Structure 1
Amino acid sequence: MTEETVAALAALRELAGADGVLAGALCETAANTVCNAVLATLRTPGLADRLAGDPDLADRIVAETLRTAPPVHLESRCATAGRTVHGTAIAEGDEVVVAVAAANRDPEVFAGPDRFDVDRAAAQPALVSGLGCRDGLEEFAARHAVAALRALAGALPGAALAGPVVRRRRSPVLRGISRCPVEI
């Protein structure tokens, strides 16, 4: 499966170029972030009503969604300085894989890390993928999710899941959503 994916990615790069591949990744992270934000809003008691009364709350809902359900779960980063982390020496330039979903639930950084809380007091911002550019994947996804929540603000009170949320086959990096039926 991995070899087929790598071969397909190479073929996609030939057809669409690097920008086309990035556009595909941006669309997927945006779609998953929108779905995760809607799910979080529907699953948090009273949040849909609050959003209907204050569409600007969408920014905080999406920020907390990116913390609790980031669309990218694992990332490869390059250490910019040497240091020791929990007894493991990391040299400047070493490649480190970061479990983003776990880092965003660190109890030393976030009080009640497993709780979805849009009123979380000035906590550290969630670790998100910048991929070395100002407009990284999650930042792009966040803008679209905020716009979607603001557009749906008046329709979400009273909305409910209309069936099971179906996620694509498990991946250590992405948790894509195939189906997210919502009855409005």
Structure 2
Amino acid sequence: MTVTRPRVGVLALQGDVREHVHALTASGADATPIRRPAELAAIDGIVIPGGESTTMSKLLGIFDLFDPLQQALNDGLPAYGSCAGMIMLATTILDTRPDARHLDALDITVRRNAFGRQVESFETDLDFIGITDAPGADPMRAVFIRAPWVEAVSPDVQVLATVPAGPAQGRIVAVRQGNILATSFHPEVTGDRRVHEYFVSMVRR
């Protein structure tokens, strides 16, 4: 069934919650913050924003959200994770704490803080399959803030974007597996709504 204006939640424990809500609303969704397990039943998709992944895993436990969210993802809830959200969705995480938990929804290996510390944050233009390959489309300006990268993907995962140049050339920074989408970068901070529009179209389908 196609949902004309889907209801998309934004996990509201830390990170750019307000910015994601605004971007989703501008992209044709009814966006709402999510903090309680019961709220998961009322949404058609969820965004897991950036932040600090080990802190986020602890907060999911404190708010009794970890198991219900993992079950919802297992049951097919579409999800988009940006930066720390990518880490939370991954099956294998490198350079993390041994007690950190993750949601195992995306069959990738991710390295935390792979691009370096906060002072090494950077921007670059990306080609993004399904977005910038449209006729006349501009490259996507991507903002990386203490970002992860993807070191390995399973055959079921589609690589959507890689770093085009520099020391990290070729590193994977956007992926999709079924109805799970993830990016290393923060599209919510640039004003470019195309990643959110892409995800909302996934949720509609």
- TM-score, shorter chain, exceeding 0.5: no
Larger radius of gyration between Structure 1 and Structure 2: 1
TM-score by length of 1: 0.26
TM-score by length of 2: 0.24
More helix by share: 1
More strand by share: 2
